Amino acid sequence: MVVGIIRIKIRIAWSHSLKEKRKVVKSICAKVQNKFKVSIAEVGEQDTHQIIVLGIAYVTNGNSHADSIASHIVNFIEGSVEGELIEIEREIV
């Protein structure tokens, strides 16, 4: 059993309120959960309206599959959010 963990920090410069940010976070989380069947949540910077920090976790059967899943998730988020991915951390345990 292999556990994959991803931490992604996204800057959404156009956001002017926490309400706008929450809308984006909910949308990203729903899309990623539906497409990849992983656990995802906002894990930091909850009081900053232009920074989103997401934590994603999943379980699979091999390191190469875990790395592939992580790449697909990052590419999906990058393509579906109107923001800049400023930090990506991956860990396979």
Parent domain of 34: 2-92
Q: Hey, what long-range contacts does 76-81 have (CB within 8 A, 24 or more apart)?
A: 76/31, 76/32, 76/35, 76/36, 77/8, 77/10, 77/28, 77/32, 80/28, 80/31, 81/10, 81/12, 81/24, 81/28
Q: What is the pLDDT of residue 7?
A: 97
| CB 82, CB 14: distance < 8 Å | yes
Residue 46 has pLDDT above 90, yes or no: no
pTM to 2 decimal places: 0.90
Distance between CA atoms of 16 and 93, rounded to whole angstroms? 37
Q: What is the pLDDT of residue 45?
A: 85
CATH number of the domain encompassing residue 14: 3.30.70.1120
Number of domains in the chain: 1
